[in-house]
Amino acid sequence: MGDFALLPPTSPDLAFDSTRPYFLWWTEVTVGEFRRLIRDPDRATRAYWVGALLREANTRDVWLYVEPDEVRALWPDLIRFLGRSREMWAYLIGVPTPTWPPPEARDA
């Protein structure tokens, strides 16, 4: 992740598969289950869960689970799940800020 020091996670418990992470407050998913979901073969499933991570987690905890290149690769599919954090994440991963809602959705 470049030549800078990363901040430590907000909780060392985020490394344990049995932990229920704070950023998945609406579900019973554990860290172990979450790790499987963000590696799911189905792109839509991955996008949903990575989007939840980006939207709900403290930025310093995001990098415990994904790399910037993974986020960039999923970007077109996950931006719909980011809410108000869309512009911040576009800036952080170095992609153009998306127009939201997309033009095709406005005409419907």
What DSSP assignment string belongs to 53-69?
HHHHS-HHHHTTT--HH
* Alpha helix segments (H runs only) across 5-67: 31-37, 43-56, 59-62
Checking if the pLDDT of 88 tops 70, the result is yes
The percent of residues above 70 in pLDDT, for the chain, comes to 93
List the one residue out of 39, 101, 105 whose CA is nearest residue 74.
39
- Report which DSSP code applies to 18: T
The two tokens of residue 41 are 């073969």
Q: What is the pLDDT of residue 78?
A: 94
**pLDDT tier for residue 4 given thresholds of 50, 70 and 90:** low
What are 31-76's pLDDT values in tens digits? 999 999 999 999 999 999 999 999 999 999 999 999 999 999 999 9
Checking if the pLDDT of 98 tops 50, the result is yes
- Report, in this order, helix, strand and coil percent for the chain, each rounded to 5: 55, 0, 45
List the one residue out of 98, 103, 56 whose CA is nearest residue 80.
98
The pTM of the full predicted model, rounded to 2 decimals, is: 0.89
Checking if the pLDDT of 1 tops 50, the result is no
**pLDDT tier for residue 104 given thresholds of 50, 70 and 90:** confident
Spatial distance between the Cα atoms of 35 and 15, rounded to a whole number of angstroms: 11
Give the mean model confidence (pLDDT) for residues 77-90.
95
